[in-house]
Amino acid sequence: FKIGLGYDFHVLEEGRPLMIGGVEIPFHKGEKAHSDGDVLLHAIIDALLGASGVGGDIGELFPPSDVAWKGMPSSKLINIAWQKIKLHGWRLGNIDCVVIMEEPKLTPYRKTIIKSISNLLEADDSCVFVKFKTHEKTGDIGKGEAIASFVTALLYK
Ligand code: MG
Q: Dump pLDDT digits (tens) for 86-140.
A: 999 999 999 999 999 999 999 999 999 999 999 999 999 999 999 999 999 999 9
Q: Quick one: what percent of the chain has pLDDT higher than 90?
A: 90
Instruction: Measure 79 CA to ligand 1 centroid, in angstroms.
Output: 15
Q: Shortest CA distance to 96 belongs to which of 2, 6, 1?
A: 6
Confidence (pLDDT) at 67: 85
Q: Within a 10 A sphere around the Cβ of 12, how many other Cβ atoms?
A: 23
Instruction: Measure 147 CA to ligand 1 centroid, in angstroms.
Output: 10
Neighbours of ion ligand 1 (CB under 5 A): 8, 42
Residue 34 to residue 10: CA distance in whole angstroms: 11
Residue 30 to residue 39: CA distance in whole angstroms: 10
For residue 58, report the phi and psi dihedrals to the nearest 5 degrees.
-60, -35
**Strand ranges for 15-139 from DSSP E:** 18-20, 23-25, 29-31, 91-100, 128-133
Instruction: Measure 47 CA to ligand 1 centroid, in angstroms.
Output: 13
Is 76 exposed, middle or buried (CB count within 10 Å of its CB: 0-12, 13-18, 19+)?
middle
Confidence (pLDDT) at 65: 86
pTM (2 decimals)?
A: 0.97
Mean pLDDT of 23-31: 98
Mean pLDDT (the chain) is 96
